[in-house]
Structure 1
Amino acid sequence: MSFEEQVVVDVNEGIVSDHPQLKAKKLSLQKFRRNDSLEIQSRTFPTSHFAASKGPAMTMILQLAFQSIGIVYGDIGTSPLYVYSSTFSNGIKHNDDILGVLSLIFYTLTLIPLLKYVFVVLRATDNGNGGTFALYSLICRYAKVGLIPNQQLEDADVSNYKLESPNNREKRASKLKSILENSHFMKLFLLFATMLGTSMVIGDGVLTPCISVLSAVGGIKQAADQITNDQIVLISVAILVGLFMVQRFGTDKVGYTFAPIICVWFTFIGGIGMYNFIKHDATVIKAINPKYIVDYFSRNKKDAWISLGGVVLAITGTEALFADVGHFNVRSIQISMCSVTYPALILAYTGQASFLRKHSDLVGDTFYKSIPDPLYWPMFVIAVLAAIIASQAMISGTFSIIQQSLALGCFPRVRIVHTSAKYEGQVYIPEVNYILMVACIAITVGFKTTTQIGNAYGIAVVFVMTLTSALLVLIMIMIWKTHILLVISYTLIIGSVELIYLSSVLYKFDQGGYLPLAFAAVLMIIMYVWNDVYRRKYYYELDHKVSPEKVKEIISNANICQIPGLAIIYSELVQGIPPIFKHYVANVPALHSVLVFVSIKSLPVSKVPMEERFLFRRVQPKNLNVFRCVVRYGYTDVRNEQEPFEKLLVERLKEFIAEEFLLSERVLQNDENSNVDGVQELNDGEQLQEAIEKEIEEVERASRAGVVHLIGENEVIASKGANFGKRILIDYAYNFLKKNLRQSEKIFDIPHKRMVKVGMTYEL
């Protein structure tokens, strides 16, 4: 009988049965005899095999496509409210300028949202999740560019972690990978660029509600001249407060509520665009010829270049398309963009251009002036509703990317609420929601008009797009191994267009453009402070970790009292036992009968299947009943909402004990005597069953006696002799953030009655 065909004792049932997992996975003697531990790398024992899930059915894809219209496209869909008025802020000087701007809008919409994002960038999702951190996580998995030294060989075994290895013939991929891995500057630069992109998208989440709602509500002046600008601002603030208050109901419910409204909006702007096209000037269709762009720049020179800051507002919200893809899926976004959004926008801008060819003096109120009189009030109501929904796209995107940055150690702790049991990836963050609301109200009251907000908006939009392109080029070369000519073509066409737009919006820096940069700077400081001290703490624990020999010495000490129960000791340290354990024992000379050191680790991957989440390692010798455990999460995984964490951990621990005991004994027996007779084999099997049952019973007894959660409450201070900058960073900035944000037990839903905090000071 071969090793793989031997029977396995089913501990829970108390019978001997065939174990399909052993048959499916051959385990070599070399693997079991290697001297591995969580000091260097983790050792995993499978509990069940991860079955790749099939893609969603077409019915669900169409449902998600419908929902996405309400969530993703509100922002880009409401751009016709203000694009022409922002572009021609000083009026139209030549009638053919309208054709030049229409041509610019047409090619910008086609190149950036449609070609770049829908057909290229969406291919770079991380297991269905988008945003700047999704691109960064792909690069981190392919090249070792993470700054925290907690990478483990077993991480690459996670189903969602794997990426295609580079072909030996692809020297560019290997060379670029080597440059990134060997350069500390490049690692810092990549992290900095990712943080900047994240900060800018959050900035979008603040500016979108302001400009969209103000633009829509401002249309009421056409019907009621007596309404003042201050009254419009107050109405806008009331709408914004209402919008942020409904966020707690979740994207799922909000999406189904908003989708029909945006569908009506796209139908109206497309229909009115077609009406204006036929009624006023059908010859604007010749704007498809890019010659009119050249003529426009020839006539207006610098003014044409400055006006690009208005044209770029036609693609605001495009980054939300990528950031929000985790709320839906790639196919649903592609379907809704190609079938609804893109055609409606082209018709709307074309119709407005036709109207302006006959009424160039009305460019300041193009949108509302071009609406036929009978449709004015219905369009006003729908425009206000669409503006509210436009804000939803960036708010949802903001929640998604903050969840990602939090998981990767780049954002202070906040509470993540999973709002839909039906669709994964739909989250709500209460603290961030209220901060966004306050910021939106402050900007709306402070600026009062859309002109300066538009200048600020353009900078945030183009900055994020440019950073996305830069990260995407790295992915194209290293991971996709795209042909070099295609990479060069992408860089020259898309990259040059975005850089030209970036240069234009930066020109208006002093006219409101400073706002997103100032906002991003504040966020960058917060993210940098948190990430930097987070890394310093990890290195401190790594340098002061407790060796396995020391653990054995501590537990074997006659002065240490052993009490019944199971203690879960939390630490961020993956490669060793944290120094807080030694500190705890020195002050409280009592230990529980079973100890589990738990490290919560976030992988640069969107999701970790439950079957592959727990990695266990026993601290030798066996009679100590001490275990190490790394619990791996993806950056979009929601923790402890389906069932209590401790229950999951105890179940996985029992499975580990059974499988470790069984497999190690079988391998040892197979190595020493490959010709064991049937009677001896049966006796060994009975002894093995008894040994497994005995050890699992110890764990169950300890669990019944009570589970205690030991949390390390680390106070960090700058070491003696530290320079002024380091003292400011650690003693003031980091500790201020830490004291005013959620603590670990709130993040992991640890019951207060069974929680013990252990204080220790780290001198960093």
Structure 2
Amino acid sequence: MPIHSSQGKGRRENLLLAYKTLGVVFGGLVTSPLYVYPSMPLKSPTEDDYLGIYSIMFWTLTLIGVVKYAGIALKADDQGEGGTFALYSLLCRNMNIGILSSRPSNPNSSLSHSIYDEGTENQSRLAKFFKKSIVARRLLLFIAMLGMCMVIGDGILTPAISVLSAIDGVRAPFPSIKSSVVEALSAVVLIILFLLQKFGTSRVSFLFSPYIMGAWTLSTPLVGIYSIISHYPSIFKAISPHYIFRFFWRNGKEGWLLLSGTVLCITGSEALFADLGHFNRSSIQIAFLFTIYPSLVLTYAGQTAYLIKNPNDHNDGFYKFIPTTIYWPIFIISTLAAIVASQSLISATFSVIKQSVVLDYFPRVKVVHTSPSKEGEVYSPEVNYILMVLCVAVILIFGDGKDIGNAFGVVVSLVMLITTILLTLVMVIIWRTPPVLVALYFSIFFVMEGVYVSAVFTKITEGGWIPFAISFILAFIMFGWYYGRQRKIEYELTHKITLDKLGLLLSNPSVQRVPGFCLFYSNIQDGLTPILGHYIKNMKSLYQVTMFTALRYLLVPKVAPHERIVISKLGLKGVYGCVIQYGYADPLNLEGEDFVSQVTNSLLAHIQDSSGCRPSDPAEIQQEMSNLEEAMSAGIVHIRGKTRFYISKSCGWFDKIMLAFYEVLHSNCRSALPALGVPLRQRIEVGMLYEA
């Protein structure tokens, strides 16, 4: 009985989670009926045209939504995390490659012999190729970064097109309302939504977003069934793929160009995979397969049935097929659903930016955790207001939903193609899937999505350039920041202070050990930062207890609490090393005294443990602990470097441009210390010029 009881409890929990996912995961996907048909430039469409279009949408939803994402992609999680960067992390860890390390600092760590080594033995030829080729590794990083930039672009375009398409419904009963009024109302709704972001995702979603999306996914298919019965009961004959062949045979190039609109039926599918870290696999699959998928199939069938009888109403393919008696309730539900869909993509954008900042691929911005229980709920003020300005600008400048739809199509198709490429690598390198199945998967989805990409690329001049412009700017910022950080690390590794050199500096009679406990921050772990030598030579002192602290970001989602802080003794009196390890899904929310107490507790534990590992004088151990307590009571100081590049005349033009750009970014981004809640009175910044 207990077994059956626990199984029943597990099913109930999955069903409850599945219900909650409606308002978070599938926002963009379930609101797609609002803008799919208006995004297709149809010319004198016939019954066969509409049957072919519905067949294309049905098989797109089935193959990409059900087979690829719900069936395959959800299994490619990185310790419960999903999304483009999770796939990149998974590949890097299993091939033991990547610019960032994926190994913990403690060589005796239990993790270092488990998940961190999976796939490093008996690697495939492809894995060995990536390990040898720096070009291949950089290309893989570029693909992952492009995917992240496209997701951020999605966070700009989804709110714009969803809210604009929903509010455009007021023009059907009131044709005199101008499109400029609709654009203004949409902009006001989005501004209010962005201003509410600081209160957190849970509160902004009004705590009933699942009810809104539940009402939407129930009401629209019911209207679809009514439309099917009233207008074209035999609509489901279009499920036969031969209607697709007939459509392309008859329309040729025009039919291919229409794919730039039909691809929007699967928009938001990437969120199904990306939000895997917030909900388990079973709940997402249940919600999609038993709620979202049948709802979309019936809704699109109802729209198509209506349009077959009213072929010229495709410019407003959603609201025209709503019966007059329930028009306003559906309008209200659709507007609220569009707001929830916008919220889901805004939240996803915050998460992506947070991951990029944590991994040092993006300039530091303020990241606030808005929920004490849900670490995935984050908010960034700077990012929020930039998104708000861009969303409103997209609506006011490109108010025509078709132009925004073209831009949206580029984002949707490219993100899907990137996921297909990374999933193929996962199949070959990690899963060791039989080559026949890999070839079948790749040929079907790469060709299918490649055709979609080729179609949307024809819309570059008609709004499709928007995501490219956004992605180019973001990629340039990320590359500029990354390039500058790497050059700084290279300089520090070249000019690092060794322990022997530190001992020599401290042996100078003019250098004093002053009372206090100091956390001296460093970007490198193999040696000590050159700022230390600069500090000692000029200040002629070092604190009684000094801990050289490095924040280390690993290419894993999360680091276990007992692996978080790694302490080592550096062989000099009162001098220790500390590495604080974080994964890309870990919240960096240690605050001031709590942070220091965790570090000191780890140090005390290390001192006590080391006494058991090697013969030690108990009096020496006691003295060491007494010195630590005395230093703590004297005061705590956090020292970090404030470095700048000195760009000499001998530098090449590329270095001059990129390092100057990095300095602009670095001068305007936030300090790393406030992320740890360090009080102002405890901070000391040491300035130093690095010669480029």
1:482 CA drift (Å) = 1.5
Alpha-carbon distance, 1:439 to partner: 0.2
Aligned to 1:36: none
Q: Which of 152, 160, 166 is the equivalent residue of 1:202? A: 152
Is it true that 1:707 corresponds to 2:636 in the alignment? yes
Q: Which residue of 2 aligns with 1:407?
A: 358
Match of 2:210 in 1: 259
The residue aligned with 2:667 is: 739
Output the CA distance in 2 between the equivalents of 1:434 and 1:60.
Answer: 37
Partner of 1:381: 332
1:288 aligns with 2:239: yes
Q: 2:368 aligns with which of 410, 413, 417?
A: 417
Aligned to 2:58: 106
Preserved contact between residue 414 and residue 747 of structure 1 (Cα < 8 Å): no
Q: Structure 2 counterpart of 1:225, which letter?
A: P
Q: Does 1:225 align with 2:171?
A: no
Shift of 1:306: 0.2
CA contact (8 A) 1:717 1:730 kept: no
CA offsets 1:439-478 (integer angstroms, 9 cap, x no match): 0001100011101110111001111111111111111111
Q: How does 1:255-334 map to 2 (within 5 A)?
A: 255=205, 256-334=207-285
Output the amino acid matched with 1:715.
R
Residues 280 and 404 (structure 1 numbering): CA distance in 2 closer, same or farther, change over 3 Å? Answer: same
1:154-174, Cα deviation, whole Å (9 max, x unpaired): 479464971674497x6xx43
Q: C-alpha distance in 2, partners of 1:230/1:371?
A: 24
Give 1:588 shift: 0.6
CA gap 1:645/1:290 in 2 versus in 1, 3 angstroms: same
Give distance in 2, aligned partners of 1:746 and 1:58: 43
Q: Deviations over 1:231-257 (max 9, x none)?
A: 111100000011112222223334533
Which of residues 576, 600, 610 is equivalent to 1:627?
A: 576
User: Residue type of the partner of 1:602?
Assistant: Y
Give the Cα–Cα distance (whole angstroms) in 1 for the partners of residues 374 and 17 of structure 2.
Answer: 9
8 Å CA contact retained: 1:166, 1:481: no
Q: Describe the SS at the equivalent of 2:428.
A: helix
Task: State yes or no: 1:692 paired with 2:621.
Answer: yes
Whether the 8 Å CA contact 2:552–2:582 is kept in 1: the answer is: yes
Note if contact 1:606-1:637 (Cα within 8 Å) is conserved in structure 2. yes
Contact in 1 for aligned 2:95/2:120 (Cα 8 Å): no
Please give the alpha-carbon distance, in whole angstroms, between the structure 2 residues aligned to 1:352 and 1:150: 49
**2:478 is matched with which residue: 515, 520, 527?**
527
1:234 counterpart (178, 184, 197)? 184
Q: Which residue of 1 aligns with 2:3?
A: none
**CA 711–576 in structure 1, closer or farther in 2 if over 3 Å, else same:** same
Count of aligned pairs: 682
Aligned position for 1:495: 446
Alignment correspondent of 1:748: 676
Match of 2:70 in 1: 118
**Alpha-carbon distance in structure 1 between the residues aligned to 2:139 and 2:108:** 24
**Residue-by-residue CA offset, 1:661-713 (whole Å, 9 max, x unaligned):** 221228xxxxxxxxxxxxxxxxxxxx53x433332222122112111000111
* Closer/same/farther in 2, CA of residues 699 and 126 from structure 1, 3 Å limit: same
Q: Does 1:472 align with 2:423?
A: yes
Query: Once the two structures are aligned, what percentage of the paired residues are identical?
Result: 40
Quote the residue 2:650 is aligned against. 721
Unaligned runs of 5+ in 2: 1-6
Hey, what does 1:128 align to over in structure 2?
80
Quick check: 563-572 or 719-728, which moved more?
Answer: 719-728
Residue 640 (structure 1) shift: 3.1
Give the deviation of 1:612 after TM superposition. Answer: 0.6
Alpha-carbon contact 1:566-1:593 (below 8 Å) kept:
yes
Instruction: Choose from 549, 555, 572 the match for 2:500.
Output: 549
Q: Which residue of 1 aligns with 2:524?
A: 573
In 1, the alpha carbon distance for the partners of 2:466 and 2:558 equals 35
Q: 1:167 to 1:443 in 2, by over 3 A?
A: closer
Match of 1:444 in 2: 395
Cα distance change of structure 1 residues 152 and 266 upon mapping to structure 2, 3 Å threshold: closer
Taking the aligned partners of 2:590 and 2:566, their CA distance within structure 1 comes to 20
**Structure 2 counterpart of 1:583:** 534
Structure 1 residues 156 and 318 mapped into 2: Cα distance closer, same or farther (>3 Å)?
farther
RMSD: 2.0
Correspondence for 2:127 among 177, 181, 195: 177
| TM-score, normalization by structure 1 | 0.86
Structure 1 unaligned spans of 5+: 1-53, 667-686
SS at match of 1:644: helix
Structure 1 residue 390: deviation in Å?
1.4
Deviations 1:394-438 (A, max 9, x none): 112111211222222211111222222223322222211111100
Shift of 1:93: 2.7
Residues 150 and 575 in structure 1, CA contact (< 8 A), matched pair in contact too? no
Structure 2 letter corresponding to 1:526: I
Give the number of the structure whose alpha-carbon radius of gyration is greater. Answer: 1
Tell me: CA distance 1:514–1:338, structure 2 relative to 1, closer, same or farther (3 Å).
same
Q: Is the 8 A contact 2:31 2:341 kept in 1?
A: yes
Q: CA deviation at 1:745?
A: 2.0
Question: Is the CA contact (8 Å cut-off) linking 2:201 and 2:377 kept in structure 1?
Answer: yes
Contact 1:324–1:393 (Cα < 8 Å) also in 2: no
- Deviates further, 637-646 or 219-228: 637-646
Cα pair 2:104 2:581 within 8 Å, conserved: no
**Separation in 2, partners of 1:150, 1:95:** 56
Helix, strand or coil at the partner of 2:365:
coil
Matches within 5 A, 1:77-92: 77-87=30-40, 89-92=41-44
Paired residue for 1:214, among 164, 180, 194? 164
Residue identity in the other structure for 2:351: S
Letter in structure 1 aligned against 2:624: E
Structure 1 residue 641, shift from structure 2 partner: 4.1
Counterpart residue number, 1:604: 555
CA distance in 2, matches of 1:475, 1:247: 36
Q: Please name the residue that 1:146 is paired with.
A: 98
Shift of residue 737, structure 1, vs aligned partner: 0.8
Q: Distance in 2 between matches of 1:752 and 1:360?
A: 67
Question: Who is 1:4 aligned against?
Answer: none
Task: State the Cα deviation string for residues 476-517 of structure 1 (Å, max 9, x = none).
Answer: 111111121111111011111110100000011111111101
Alignment of 1:50-89 (within 5 A): 60-87=13-40, 89=41
